[in-house]
Amino acid sequence: MDTSQYLEIFLDETKEHLQNLNTSILELESEPENENTINEIFRAAHSLKGMAGTMGYKRMQDLTHNMENVFSEVRNGSIKIKSEMIDILFQCLDALEEYTDNIQNTQDEGTNDNEPIIKSLKAIIDSKGESVGEAAAPAKEEAKASESKSDDASAGGTKWDNVKLDESQMDVLEEAKKQGKNVFGMNVEIQEGCILKAARAFLVIKAIEELGEIAVSDPPTQDLEDEKFDMDFTLMVVTDNSMDDLVNAAKAVSEIGNVTAGEFIPDNNVSFKKEEATAAPKEEAKAPETTAPAPTTTAPTAKAAPAGDKAQGGKAEPKKAGKPVVNRTIRVDIEKLDNMMNLVSELIIAKNSLVSATNAANAAAGTNSTNEQIEYLESVTTNLHESVMKVRMVPIESVVSKFPRMIRDLQKTLGKKMELFMTGEDTELDRTVVDEIGDPLMHLLRNSADHGLESAEVRKERGKPEVGSIFLDAYQEGNNVIIEVRDDGNGIDVEAVKAKAIERGVITPEQGAIMPDKDIINLLFNAGFSTAKQVTDISGRGVGLDVVRSKIESLSGEVSVKSELGVGSTWTIRLPLTLAIIQSLMVVVGGEKYAISLGSIETIETIEPGEVKLVQNEEVINLRGNVLPLIRLNQILENESTIGPDDAMCVVIVKKGDKMAGLVIDELIGQMEIVIKPLGKYIKQAKVISGATILGDGEVALILDTNVMF
């Protein structure tokens, strides 16, 4: 069978387990005796081992198998968690992430067998106390044997007793027995809440087929692939391997619950029976009192019931009735969501066209006959858009969960004491935005750790705690999400930044003398600008900040910074909730229609020509005590304005962080919900244009990016 169809499922679940491991190992470092965390790491390693094995990734399976062995001993109390173990576990995590990246890119795990890490894991087991180890191993083997016997003992009352065999199937199984083959019946139960039970069934079948031949499947394999079965299925297997081998192979698949097995005995036909036969219960097939009953038995000692009795007794039927909903979520390919969003976008364009046509028709007829229906359509499309957007929204936790590990590693690399505090991990953003913000946040956190926080000695001299604090806070504000990276470190030395800027010719000494501190700090966002005395891979405040700004602005967001020398710095990222459909203000400049995002607009003002002043040869206006630069859009867009020099101007006041500016337009159209369309890679896009939209009359309007105009 081809496993490539389940590759995406494997990758998704592997990434979830790796994220869980990352969090759990960090928790284990601070709470080495926490049994819940220890059990969680064991379960994650066990699940990864089973998944890798069934997909054929042997190196990944071997590594997780050794991790599982270590934590099996930890659970038994044979090994205590030590600090050096945490480092080895993080090495394991890095190796697993490397395997996962290779699989995602090439469908192959690579050639690195990570033998040094595996030797370290084995050394942990070998270094435990001999008396404890010798006592634990036989006990463990005995427990396994007992578990296997329990499974075997419960065979008398499990579901393969009632599988119907025709003559040809019976002959095949009997012939296999005569040839000295082992013939076993297996019942495999899938855990409640499993999302893709067909995939789990397929992985079990693949694992069993590597050990033998499946002679009978109930339901048939086609029904299993089509998910036409309840939460369990039955297999009859001809094999040279033992019953334990089959059971362990099935249990190695994640989200598999109870697996029971029994031997086919053709003489008295206890385990399997022909369609016309009635099974005679076998006395020695009773389950021991310590064994949990199989799902189809009424008590631990109940014998297999004949098919007719089972149908009349109705014991199994109530199990299906009134089953509670365990899991109410599903995995959806992001491409399907993109397609759905595109359809909603087209619907909004069609709605805008209908509104435009209806307004024209009503104006011609002098009636408002269809306004109510149009308003209802607008309401429906808006609600549909919001619903689709909610489906696309994901918590930023998937991005920020890796940062505590990064800060831990930086603490050792830099020799500083620091701690990361995070809030708002459940804040949701559009999936396309979440996928892009990881690198900018990583740059800001690394710079806070390296250049922001002082050494423990310096902090002590300044009366600060020796352990520096870095904060990552996320929260929603209107139609935007705010992400703040703060630290209680040294802050930005404005004079050092100014000196560096003058030295590099970015500004003149005269400009530096009159520039406000805020503008000097913003020089750090220039490409390659840094005040770090020594450039390293995690360098100073300037490294990566141009990347941060360009990435955030490409997402229609903005980044700003506030700093106080000796107290600390706060870097603020403001991002829109969505990039696909926005509320905008439609304006006219030089006879052309343009859209400006409502999220960046503060107010709309009427300015008389006499109110415009010149400061350093630049036009400004005084708006309620604030001096704002005036930007004439017709000059930027290189078209002819339709307003005269003596006419009053319509000015749209836009903001970017703490800054504001006035955009001079010719005409105001009004508010409109628009769909953002990219201009395409063949069109050289101007910096001030972020995309285009299709209006109701079919006309194309460009969308202005006000962030780059300041």
Of 229, 239, 255, the residue nearest 185 (C-alpha): 239
688-706 as b/e, with b when 16 or more CB fall inside 10 Å? Answer: bbbbbbbbbeeeebbbbbb
Contacts for 419 with CB less than 8 Å, ≥ 6 apart:
407, 467, 468, 469, 470
295-309 as b/e, with b when 16 or more CB fall inside 10 Å? Answer: bbbeebebbbbbbee
DSSP character string of 139-177: HHHHHHHHHHHHHHHGGGGSGGGG-EE-HHHHHHHHHHH
219-237 as b/e, with b when 16 or more CB fall inside 10 Å? Answer: eeeeebeeeebebbbbbbb
* 68 is a catalytic site residue: yes
* 447 is a catalytic site residue: yes
Candidates 13, 40, 66, 68; catalytic one: 68
Distance of CA 136 to the CA centre of its chain: 39
Q: Angle at CA 201, nearest 5°, toward 200 and 205?
A: 120
For the purposes of burial, counting CB atoms within 10 Å of the CB of 133, is it exposed (0-12), middle (13-18) or buried (19 or more)?
Answer: middle
Alpha carbons 181 and 702: distance in angstroms, whole number: 74
AA identity, residue 562 = K
SS3 350: helix
Candidates 13, 17, 40, 46; catalytic one: 46
DSSP 516: -
Residue 703: in which H helix or E strand, if any? strand 700-704
Contacts for 316 with CB less than 8 Å, ≥ 6 apart:
295, 296, 310
Locus of tokens 């334990």: 244
Q: Where are the beta strands (DSSP E) in 565-658?
A: 568-576, 581-589, 592-597, 601-607, 613-615, 618-623, 626-632, 649-656
Candidates 447, 490, 522, 707; catalytic one: 447
Tokens of 170: 């019976």
Of 208, 308, 306, 309, the residue nearest 250 (C-alpha): 208
Phi and psi torsions of 374, nearest 5°: -65, -40
Q: Angle at CA 60, nearest 5°, toward 113 and 130?
A: 80
Ramachandran region, residue 386 (left: φ > 0; alpha: ψ -120 to 50; beta: rest): alpha
Q: Where are the beta strands (DSSP E) in 377-425?
A: 393-395, 418-423
Query: Which residues carry out catalysis?
Result: 46, 68, 447
